[in-house]
Each structure stands twice: as C-alpha cells, then as structure tokens.
Amino acid sequence: MAVTMPRGSLQVKSIQNYIDGRFVSSKREFADVNPADGTVIAQVAEADRDQVDAAVQAGRRALRGEWGRIGVRERAALLQRVAEGIESRFDCFVAAEVADTGKPISLASKLDVPRAAANFRVFADLIKTSGLESFQTETPDGKRALNYAVRKPLGVVGIITPWNLPLLLLTWKVAPALACGNAVVVKPSEDTPATAALLAEVMQQAGIPNGVYNAVHGFGPGSAGEFLTQHPDVNAMTFTGESQTGAAIMKTVAASVKPVSFELGGKNAAIAFADCDFDETASGVAEAVFMNTGQVCLCAERVYVERPIFEQFVQALKRKAESLKIGSPLEKMTDLGPLISSQHREKVLSYYRLATEEGAVAVTGGGVPQFGNSLDHGFYVQPTIYTGLQESARCVKEEIFGPVCHVAPFDTEEEAVHMANDTKYGLAASIWTSNLKRAHRVAQEMNVGITWVNCWFLRDLRTPFGGVGLSGIGREGGVHSLNFYSELNNICVRL
C-alpha cells in the first residue's frame, strides 16, 4: 500500500515511493503537513539517488517489455480504466487532496478530481482518433514519393509538478505521456505527495504494467527533483512550477539536450471595459482573483477597469472579497482555505507589507484572519484588494500567488492593452466586454498563451495551453501534448 489510512479517519500516515510496481520506503522521511491547522498528516519516504535511478531503469525495462509492444487501442483502454479507477475512489482522492493542500472540499470535488479523470479520458480518445499528415512528393525525375510520419514514444519522461493543483497538473502530463506509449517517473511537490501515491494504486489496479508509472517523493535541489532532472536515461522533462525553478531545470538538462515542456508562473491581467455585463464581470473577476486562495497560475493579480466604472467596480470586488467564507476546507460552504505552507504565507504577507510601503491603499484585507480555534495554526491570509500603485511597483510586476490583486483604472483601449502586456510573464488574460469587435481585437493583442473573453479558466482539453516569456516553453493540450510526448519519424518512400 502506498498510503495507509487508519480506519474511520481521513488521516494519511505513511506515503511511499512507487517503483517498478512496488511501494518502497526510503532511509529518509519528511513530514507532510495539513495547511489548515499545521498538523503532520503523513511521513513521506524521500527517494535517494539510487531509488530515482531504480525508477528510471524500471521505466526503461517497461518500454522493452509488454508496454512497448501493446497497441494504441489497448493503451487507450488502460487509460480509460485509470479514469474509472479515479472515479471509483473519488472521495478518497478528494480527502487526500484537501488534507494536503487545504483547498475547500467543494473545489477539490468540482475541479481537481473530475479533471484528473477527464485528463485520462480525453487522451485515451485522442490517441485513438488522431492522425498525422502525409505528402505526395514530386521527384526531380518526374516520379513520385510518399512522405508520412509515425509517432514513437520519447522513452522515459520525467514529470515534476507543483502543489497548487497537484493531481490535476500531474495527470495533465501523465495521461498524454502514457497515451503516447512512454514510461514516466513523476516527482510531485514535497508539499502534496498523497494523490500521486493514490494514483499508483489506481494504476496497479487498472493493470498498467510495472515500471510504466513510477512516483518518487522528495524536494528539488539535492533531492529527488534534481536527481531526476540530472538522470542521463531520462529522455524528456516536463515541468510545472515557478519560472526560476524552470530556469534551474533547463540548465541541468541542457547538457544532454533533452526536450522540455515548461508551464511556469504568471502575473495575469483582467481587463474590464465599461460596456461589460457588470455583475457577471464582478463575479468572474472575483473568481479569477480568489479561486484556490489565489494559488492558480492563471489567477488575475492585475485588474484594469475602465474609468467610468472604476469606483463602482472596486466596491463590488470588495463586497465579493468580504463575502467569501474563510474556514475549514472540510466545511461544504467554505470558499477560501489556507495558503499551502507557513513559508508561502510569509512570502504572501511580505508582499502585503511591501504593497503598503509602495504606497498602496488596502481596499480590504491585508492581514491574517483570526478564528479562535485550531485554524489559527493554519496558514490563512485575508483576501486582499489594493489600489493606488504605480505600474512599476514590485507588487504589480511580481507573481505573489495569493488571494490578492491590484486594481487600476484606464482611459483607452490602447492604454489597457499596453498595461496588460507590460510584464515579463505571459500566461493568461481575461477580457470583459459586450463589444464583440473589441473583444476579438484586444484578445488578439494579448501577449499570452491563453485569453478568455467574458469567462476565466474555462477549459477545453483539446486546445493549446502554455505561456510566453517567463510563463513557459511549449504548448500542451490535445494534439500539442501528443506532439511533445512523441517523436515523429517521417518516412519517405520513393514510389
């Protein structure tokens, strides 16, 4: 068993690595902490270099064995079984994700766990139906040749993921990697190891051959994350996390010229024009700022509002923030849980202090809520709205990754576009307007990977997903994922 749970309790006690179809402990362990009250919920085995190597070698063996020989139809059927396995243990996945992240149970039930199952279903379907281009070529001697490409797996893919949407982001990479016939070694965040371990149990029960899915636990530098990126037999690295970490991983893998796919940080803008549907926009922007306590890479931390509705909009956003129910993630009505860790809370609070030093006006929040119970040991902060900062302020330029935004007025469309694009990041933007032509015009001006119009985080898993600038390298989603997780071998046949 990867995860042992005492009867009658949701508390996880011990989380092990999953290597070559077996759960294995390590010499060293680290604590997994519940961010809602600071209690230790599990001891986690920290994989050493030899164990990471064993996981990679298990992947290589799997590719040479049964997994390397089975056809696309059977692979797709196995992925469907994994999706069913997640659904059949839905409550268990929700409980583990809530305990690890502190996110509200409503969010884990609505977003994280259903998306994990959907990730497997979408790529199971896609791999069966996707085709590749072919060309009939005229040769210099007047004859013909036929060019067509076939997909081959990359080999062993290293997958490193963050703590904010642990299962969703892990399966977003595992599903297409397996659909393309690779073996994977995943290294989930040290803060949220539980669902990757539960997924190992699902893989086992679904009949995924040993060595195809391996999960190693640990940290980044000097630990499992770095051991994985340094491993010479890993054929590609895919990573979601901070831009700086992406840069470190890129440096490590450069020596062996591995393909990389990076989904990194963001400092996303929401632009509300005066002609927007006011109530819909206030609700949509509030969700974009505060979902998952602002710990979604797509969250809006910069809100630009056309001057005629600026004051009214700031007040509407303030009401939304103040009506959010902050509390225990296990309460069905809770909207806002804690931040992931005391360290991350310290980072967010340092930005709250910096905002004041930089001259911001706190419209609401800016501190730590008090509960008078065990939640006071959790890593909560108040949802916070600032106005009055210069566009050059650090709080407007740097990713905070908390329930916080800065709202600024604008007078012209050009000004809004300029401010939204004036960032080193480029992940997502949202535009709120009832003017159709303007919506398309402004959307196409956004220097980002994803632009939403009159919505936010509305996902179709077939679409390209990724960022520009500091927000990432490459696109995943649909056929873009298939293209990253496979090598195309073009075959030219002289006819």
Between CA 317 and CA 159 the distance in angstroms is 37
Q: Is 297 in the site for ligand NAD (CB under 6 A)?
A: yes
459: partner contacted, choices ligand 6OH, ligand NAD, none (Cβ within 5-8 A by kind): ligand 6OH
Q: Which is nearer to ligand NAD, 214 or 245 (CB)?
A: 245
CB of 423 to ligand NAD, least distance (A): 13
HSE-up of 12 (CA within 13 Å, CB side)? 29
Closest CA to 348 of 393, 294, 290: 294
**Active-site choice (92, 297, 395, 405):** 297
Q: Active-site residue 297, yes or no? A: yes
Between CA 191 and CA 16 the distance in angstroms is 14
Q: Which is nearer to ligand NAD, 245 or 430 (CB)?
A: 245
Give the range of 260-268, 329-337, 355-363, 409-417 binding ligand NAD by CB under 6 A: 260-268
Evaluated on CA atoms 110, 113, 116, 117, the torsion sign reads: negative
Closest CA to 387 of 422, 363, 403, 410: 363
Q: Which of 59, 176, 241, 327 binds ligand NAD (CB under 6 A)?
A: 241
Give the range of 62-70, 84-92, 123-131, 213-221 binding ligand NAD by CB under 6 A: 213-221
CB of 148 to ligand 6OH, least distance (A): 30
Q: Which is nearer to ligand 6OH, 113 or 298 (CB)?
A: 298
What H or E segment, with its residue span, contains residue 100?
Answer: helix 90-101
Which segments within 156-314 are labelled E, that is strand? 156-160, 183-187, 213-215, 236-240, 260-263, 268-272, 300-306
- Could you tell me whether strands 14-15 and 3-4 are parallel, antiparallel, or unpaired per DSSP bridges? antiparallel
* Residues of span 427-446 touching ligand NAD by CB under 6 A: 427
Residue with tokens 């009401």: 319
Residue nearest to ligand 6OH (CB): 297
Kindly tell me the burial class for residue 8, based on how many C-beta atoms sit within 10 Å of its own C-beta (0-12, 13-18, 19 or more): exposed
Are 105 and 98 contacting, i.e. CB atoms less than 8 angstroms apart? yes
Closest CA to 265 of 419, 383, 424: 424
Specify the 3-state DSSP secondary structure of 50: helix
46: partner contacted, choices ligand NAD, ligand 6OH, none (Cβ within 5-8 A by kind): none
Interaction site with ligand 6OH (CB under 6 A)? 164-165, 169, 172, 263, 296-298, 459, 465
Q: Is 398 in the site for ligand NAD (CB under 6 A)?
A: no
CB of 432 to ligand 6OH, least distance (A): 20
Q: Which two tokens stand for residue 21?
A: 């179809």
Q: Active-site residue 358, yes or no? A: no
425: partner contacted, choices ligand 6OH, ligand NAD, none (Cβ within 5-8 A by kind): none
**Active-site choice (46, 263, 306, 476):** 263
CB of 166 to ligand 6OH, least distance (A): 10
Q: Is 250 in the site for ligand NAD (CB under 6 A)?
A: no
Residue with tokens 């002289």: 494
Q: Which two tokens stand for residue 403?
A: 């329930």
Residues that bind ligand NAD (CB under 6 A): 160-164, 169, 187, 189-190, 219-221, 225-226, 229, 240-242, 245, 248-249, 263-266, 297, 399, 401, 427, 467, 471-472
Active site positions, annotated: 263, 297
